[in-house]
Amino acid sequence: MKEIATLSRQEAVAEIEALSIELQRHDTLYHRDDAPVISDADYDALKRRLLALEEQFPDLRRLDSPSLRVGAPAATGFGKVRHKVPMLSLDNAFDAEETAEFVARARRFLSLPEDTILDILAEPKIDGLSFSARYEDGVFVRAATRGDGQEGEDITANLATVADLPARLKTSTPPRILEVRGEVYMRRDDFAALNSRHSARGGKVFANPRNAAAGSLRQLDAKITASRPLRLFCYAWGELDGFTPETHKGWLDQLQAWGLPVNPEHHLCRTLEDVEHFAADIYARRADLPYDIDGLVLKVNDVALQKRLGFVARAPRWAIARKFPSEQAQTRLRSIEIQVGRTGVLTPVAHLEPVTVGGVVVSRATLHNEDEIRRLDVRVGDLVTLQRAGDVIPQILGVITGQRPADSTPFVFPHTCPECGATATREDGAVAWRCTGGLTCPTQATERLKHFVSRNAFDIEGLGGKHIEAFFADALIRTPQDIFTLEARDRASLSKLKNRNGWGPASAEKLFDSINARRTITLDRFLFALGIPQVGQATARLLARHYGSLGTLLDTLDSIPGPDEEARLSEAWLTLIGIETIGPAVAQELLAFAREPHNRDVLRALQAEITILPVEEPDTTHSAIAGKTIVFTGTLTRMGRAEAKAKALALGAKVAGSVSAKTDLVVAGPGAGSKLKQAEALGVTIMDEDSFFDLVSNMT
Ligand code: IVH
C-alpha cells in the first residue's frame, strides 16, 4: 500500500471509491447478515485507511462515506419467547479421566456407594443449533431458539418447514403439553450441495454446516428456510404436562413412538468402560457419520437421579459434553497485536496466514499473555501448530523452530497501552499487563460500555459495538448513564441522531424505544452489567440473591473498614466471603469498585434513570427455611454436602461458610468441630442431618 502523502489526487479518488464500496459490503455482512468475512481488526484497518485518506483529501469525503455511518439496518422481526424451563448448556470433559471425575462427582453428590451401577446414556453431540418445540394436545404450536437460555427467538414458522418435525404427534392420547428440545443441523452432503448451488449463482457461501443451519433457520422469510435442507434430532425436554419420563432411554423411545426423530446412535452404558468403548467407536466412525459431531453427551439415565442432581449455574450436574480431541493445522504467524479489554488487560492476539482447521478458516488466535508467549517462544514469522476444539477459540500449541526465519527476534511485550499510551503495569503474582489509564483509556471505556449493553447485561437491542464506538468518538455516549439520557439530550440538541448518516427518524426512535424498554432491570443483570472484574453472571446472581438490593450491598461494602487487616476481620467481610463461591478475590474487587468515587457517581446517575428490581426468588411458599442463613458442617451422609446446599438454596435459604451471630441454623454431621462449638456458644439452632432431611422433605 502506498504512503498517503505520496498519492496523487487521482489515485486517492480511486482508492476512496474502492474502500467505500468494500466497507459498505462488510457493514452489511456484519450487521445485517451476521456473517462477517473479515476480522474486526482487518475491518478496522480498512476503515483507518479510509479515514486517513479523507483527512488528507477532505473535499473527497463522500456524503455517504462509511466513515460517517454506524451499521447497516439490522435484520429484526423475530418475536421473543421466554423459556419456562431454561435451556442450559453443558460443562465439558476432554478425556477418560475427566469423564470418570464427572461420574464420581455425581456419585458423591448422591451419596451412592462406589459399587452401585449408575447408568449413563451416551449420544452424539451434534454441532447445530438448539431449538425448543412446543406441542399442545399433540399439535405443534410454537418453537424458539435457545437465545441466552432464558429467552429465545420465535422460530415457529421456520421450524414448521423442517420436514423431520411432525405437525402432529403420532398418538391418540397426546400429553397436554410437550416441549421437546433438540438440535437442527445440516448433513455434510446437503451442505456441500447447497454451497455449490450458491456459489454458482454468486451467492453466499457458508463456512461450515453449523453456520449454514443457523443461517437457514434464522430467516425472516420462512420460504427461504423451507428451501434449505435442514434436519433435526430431539433429545431433551422443557415443560411437560401429562407425561413423565422415568429414564432418558425411555424418553428417547417415547419420542420415537410419537414420530419425533431421535439420533439412532445412542447407547446405554452401565460402566465407565462401556462409555469409553462407545466413545472410541463413535470417534472412529466420525468421518462416516453424515453430520458433524464434536463429541458425545453423557447423561445420567435415571430421571429421578437427574432431578436430585439438579444444576449449577448454567449446566446440569447430570450431564456432560465429552469432547473429542480437536483438529490441528500449521500456519505462519504474521504479527502479534496487543488488544485492550474492558478491564485494561493487554491481550496479545496472533494474526495468522489463514488456514482451515476443523472446517473453519482461522486467521487469529489468542496468545493469552506475556508468559504464554515466552513459554512458546513464539516469534513473528514462525511456523506454528494450532488447534481448534469445537466452539473454543483457536489455540497455538507450539512452534516448529526448525523452520524459523534466521533473522527472527523474541517478541518484546509492550509496557505502555497501545491504545492510549498510558503506562502498563504487571502486578506481583499477576499474569496480565494492565493499562493504568482506566476510563481515560478510550478502548477500556468503550469495551465497558459494550459489555454494559450486551445480551446478558442490559441487552439493549440496536446498540451494537460499532454504534458504541461511533457514539463514544462523538462524545454522545461516554458513560453508562449517557445511554439513558441520550433521548432527552437529542430532543434538546440541534444535531439530531436522525440526521446522522445511516440513521433516520424511524431508526432513531427505535433506538430510543429499545433503551427505554430497559429502564427496569433485575439486580443480578445490573451487577453483571457493571463489569466488575471477577463478577460474572453466576456471582452476580449470588450477590443479588444474598443482598436483595443495590443499597444493601453498597451499605455492606461501605461498612467494611479501611486497612486490610481490619477489613478482613469485619463481620461484613466474613459474611461476604462466606457466600458460596465468593471468595476473598471477588470480595476485594467488589470493595475496590465500591471505593472508587467515579463508580459511585455512575451508580448515582444510573439510579436516577432506571429501576432495579430484586431477582425473582424461587417458589418458597412452602419453605420454612426461606431467608434463613444455614451453615453445614461435618460429614453429611444422607445426601452429601453439595446436595444439601443445593436443596437449601432452592428453598430460598442462604448458605454461609462460617458461623456468626447472623446464622439461623447449623446442620452438623459427625466430625463437626469449631463451627459446631461456635454455634453452641452463640446459641444458634443446631440439628443433625436426619432432622434437616425430614424438615426439607416436607417442603416440596
Ligand atoms: S442436552 C441440559 N444432548 O450442546 C441439557 N445437548 O453444550 C442440555 N447438543 O445447547 C442439552 N447434541 O445445543 C444435549 N444429544 C445432545 C446434544 C446437545 C448437541 C448441544 C445443545 C446444547 C449444547 C450444550
Gap from CA of 416 to ligand 1 centroid (Å): 43
**Confidence category of residue 71, pLDDT binned at 50, 70, 90:** very low
Q: What is the pLDDT of residues 126-148, one digit of tens each?
A: 989 999 999 999 999 999 999 88
**Which is more confidently placed, 504 or 18?**
504
Which part of the chain is CATH 3.30.470.30? Answer: 92-323
Which part of the chain is CATH 3.40.50.10190? Answer: 629-698
Q: Among all chains, which residue has been given the C-alpha cell 440541534?
A: 494
Which part of the chain is CATH 1.10.150.20? Answer: 441-518, 522-613
Is residue 385 within 8 A of residue 329, CB to CB? The reply is yes
292 grid coordinates: 458433524
User: Which pLDDT value is given to residue 63?
Assistant: 52
As a dihedral over the C-alpha atoms of residue 153, residue 154, residue 159, residue 165, rounded to 10 degrees, the angle is 100
Is residue 385 within 8 A of residue 400, CB to CB? The reply is yes
Residue type, position 207, single letter: A
Query: Ligand 1: which atom is nearest the Cα of residue 129?
Result: 13
Query: Ligand 1: which atom is nearest the Cα of residue 89?
Result: 24
Which amino acid residue places its CA nearest to atom 12 of ligand 1?
125
Which amino acid residue places its CA nearest to atom 22 of ligand 1?
89
Residue 50: strand, helix, or coil: helix
Please give the annotated binding residues, written as ranges: 40-44, 89-90, 123, 146, 183, 299, 323, 417, 420, 441
Q: What is the pLDDT of residues 156-191, one digit of tens each?
A: 999 999 999 999 999 999 999 999 999 999 998 898
Question: Residue range 444-458: average pLDDT?
Answer: 95
Gap from CA of 528 to ligand 1 centroid (Å): 25
Q: Does domain 629-698 have CATH number 3.40.50.10190?
A: yes
Residue 419: count other Cβ atoms within 10 Å of its Cβ: 19
Q: Under 8 Å CB-to-CB from 392, ≥6 apart: which residues?
A: 326
Fold of 522-613: DNA polymerase; domain 1 (1.10.150)
Task: Give dist(CA 482, CA 477) in Å, integer.
Answer: 5
Residue 295 forms beta bridges with which residues?
125, 323
The DSSP code for 67 is G
Answer whether residue 465 shows pLDDT above 70.
yes
Query: Ligand 1: which atom is nearest the Cα of residue 123?
Result: 15
Identify which of 92, 127, 130 to mutate to test ligand 1's pocket (most ligand atoms within 8 A of the CB).
130
Query: Strands 92-93 and 319-323, how do they pair?
Result: parallel
Is residue 87 within 8 A of residue 152, CB to CB? The reply is yes
Fold of 332-425: OB fold (Dihydrolipoamide Acetyltransferase, E2P) (2.40.50)
Centroid of chain to Cα 650? 24
Gap from CA of 123 to ligand 1 centroid (Å): 10
Fold of 92-323: D-amino Acid Aminotransferase; Chain A, domain 1 (3.30.470)
Query: Ligand 1: which atom is nearest the Cα of residue 315?
Result: 2
Q: Under 8 Å CB-to-CB from 454, ≥6 apart: which residues?
A: 529
CA distances to 54, 207, 208, 348, 644 from 331, in Å? 36, 19, 20, 18, 51
Answer whether residue 441 shows pLDDT above 70.
yes
Backbone angles phi, psi at 586, to 5 degrees: -65, -45
**Which is more confidently placed, 65 or 111?**
111
Gap from CA of 90 to ligand 1 centroid (Å): 7
Answer whether residue 663 shows pLDDT above 80.
yes
Nearest partner of 226 among 162, 143, 140, 153, judged by Cα = 162
Gap from CA of 300 to ligand 1 centroid (Å): 14
Question: Residue range 332-355: average pLDDT?
Answer: 94
Q: What is the pLDDT of residues 669-682, one digit of tens each?
A: 888 888 899 899 88
Please give the annotated binding residues for Zn(2+), written as ranges: 417, 420, 441
Which amino acid residue places its CA nearest to atom 17 of ligand 1?
125
Centroid of chain to Cα 216? 22
Which amino acid residue places its CA nearest to atom 18 of ligand 1?
125
Task: Give dist(CA 541, CA 354) in Å, integer.
Answer: 40
Answer whether residue 366 shows pLDDT above 70.
yes
Which amino acid residue places its CA nearest to atom 10 of ligand 1?
89
Is residue 500 within 8 A of residue 554, CB to CB? The reply is no
User: Which pLDDT value is given to residue 298?
Assistant: 98
Q: Under 8 Å CB-to-CB from 561, ≥6 apart: which residues?
A: 567, 570
Gap from CA of 275 to ligand 1 centroid (Å): 18
Q: In this prediction, what percent of the chain has a pLDDT beyond 70? A: 94
**Confidence category of residue 379, pLDDT binned at 50, 70, 90:** very high
Gap from CA of 308 to ligand 1 centroid (Å): 20
* Strongest mean pLDDT among 115-119, 121-125, 669-673: 121-125
User: Which pLDDT value is given to residue 66?
Assistant: 65
Ligand 1 pocket (Cβ < 6 Å) reads 88-90, 123, 125-126, 130, 146, 183, 235-236, 297, 316, 319, 321
Query: Ligand 1: which atom is nearest the Cα of residue 263?
Result: 15
User: Which pLDDT value is given to residue 418?
Assistant: 95
Residue 340 forms beta bridges with which residues?
346
Residue 355: strand, helix, or coil: strand
User: Which pLDDT value is given to residue 73?
Assistant: 34
CA-derived radius of gyration, the chain: 28
Element (H, E) at 99: helix 96-110
User: Which pLDDT value is given to residue 391?
Assistant: 45
Nearest partner of 525 among 540, 515, 513, 539, judged by Cα = 540
Which part of the chain is CATH 1.10.287.610? Answer: 4-68
Identify which of 87, 88, 90 to mutate to test ligand 1's pocket (most ligand atoms within 8 A of the CB).
90
Q: What is the pLDDT of residues 581-616, one digit of tens each?
A: 777 888 988 999 999 899 999 999 999 999 999 987
Q: Under 8 Å CB-to-CB from 106, ≥6 apart: which residues?
A: 112, 118, 300, 305, 309, 317, 318
Which amino acid residue places its CA nearest to atom 9 of ligand 1?
125
pTM of the predicted protein model: 0.53
User: Which pLDDT value is given to residue 572?
Assistant: 86
**Average pLDDT in the chain:** 88
What is the torsional sign of CA 465, 469, 475, 479?
Answer: positive
Identify which of 125, 186, 296 to mutate to test ligand 1's pocket (most ligand atoms within 8 A of the CB).
125
Task: Give dist(CA 319, CA 306) in Å, integer.
Answer: 9
Q: What is the pLDDT of residues 389-432, one digit of tens each?
A: 544 568 898 999 999 999 999 999 999 999 999 999 998 778 88
Which part of the chain is CATH 2.40.50.140? Answer: 332-425
Helix axes 597-609, 480-492, angle to 10 degrees: 50
Please give the annotated binding residues for NAD(+), written as ranges: 40-44, 89-90, 123, 146, 183, 299, 323
Task: Give dist(CA 314, CA 641) in Å, integer.
Answer: 20
The DSSP code for 45 is H
- Residue 125: active-site member: yes
> How many residues belong to the chain?
700
Gap from CA of 297 to ligand 1 centroid (Å): 7
Catalytic residue among 125, 466, 645, 675, which? 125
Question: Residue range 462-483: average pLDDT?
Answer: 94
Task: Give dist(CA 188, CA 288) in Å, integer.
Answer: 10
Fold of 441-518: DNA polymerase; domain 1 (1.10.150)
Query: Ligand 1: which atom is nearest the Cα of residue 316?
Result: 2
User: Which pLDDT value is given to residue 70?
Assistant: 42
Answer whether residue 291 shows pLDDT above 80.
yes
Residue 652: count other Cβ atoms within 10 Å of its Cβ: 19
Tell me which CATH code domain 4-68 carries. Answer: 1.10.287.610
User: Which pLDDT value is given to residue 466?
Assistant: 93
53 grid coordinates: 485518506
Within 13 Å, how many C-alpha atoms sit on residue 498's CB side?
Answer: 13
Which amino acid residue places its CA nearest to atom 23 of ligand 1?
89
